[in-house]
Amino acid sequence: MGLEKILSVAGKPGLYKLITQTRTGFVAESLLDGKRITVSLRSSVSVLSEIAIYTLEEEVPLRDVFKKMHEKENGGKTAIGHKEEKIKLEEYFFEVLPNYDEDRVYVSDIKKVIQWYNILIENKITDFNSLENEEAETTEEE
């Protein structure tokens, strides 16, 4: 499963896997405890594949940041937790993405990225390839 079906729901902790769409919204399953929730169309929901991080030159898709974290940690969880001190979080993120825009990427954003990455690793969701890459590979195979 890729990041296209992984959601962040405002006001709810952790990440959710999209299960099905309904007339009034959709059903999602928590990656933390496996509980299912219904989410209305009025709720603020972000799909991880659509999120990007500001750098000094451009916006880098979250999946690319996750790939760099995955390489840095050799496929494991991060060396630091998302509740570390501000300076440690910034140092870690600077190692992963050296040109991130410090004025537009807040510590709360770094905490979320680290927490989300660790949740994905715990749930064995490590497919951080982009849709374009997957489509290109499928075309080459045919």
pLDDT (0 to 100) of residue 130: 63
pLDDT (0 to 100) of residue 142: 46
Q: Does 134 score more than 50 pLDDT? A: no
CATH code, residues 3-48: 2.30.30
pLDDT (0 to 100) of residue 115: 96
Topology of domain 51-122 in CATH is: Arc Repressor Mutant, subunit A (1.10.10)
Q: Annotate 50-87 with b (16+ C-beta within 10 A) or e (fewer).
A: ebebbbeeeebbbbebbbebbeeeeeeebeeebebeee
Q: What is the mean pLDDT of the chain?
A: 90
Pairing of strands 16-22, 25-30: antiparallel
pLDDT (0 to 100) of residue 133: 46
Q: Which residues contact 44 (CB under 8 A, 6 or more apart)?
A: 9, 10, 11
CATH 2.30.30 residue ranges for the chain: 3-48
Q: Does 11 score more than 80 pLDDT? A: yes
The CA distance from 17 to 6, in Å, is: 5
pLDDT (0 to 100) of residue 118: 96
The CA distance from 62 to 113, in Å, is: 8
The CA distance from 17 to 28, in Å, is: 5
Share in percent of the chain as helix, strand, coil (round to 5): 40, 25, 40
Q: Does 135 score more than 50 pLDDT? A: no
pLDDT of 33-64, one tens digit each? 999 999 998 999 999 999 999 999 999 999 99
CATH 1.10.10.1650 residue ranges for the chain: 51-122
Packed helices 86-96 and 62-72: angle between N→C axes, nearest 10 degrees: 100
Structure tokens at 24: 């009034």
pLDDT of 98-132, one tens digit each? 999 999 999 999 999 999 999 999 999 988 886 55
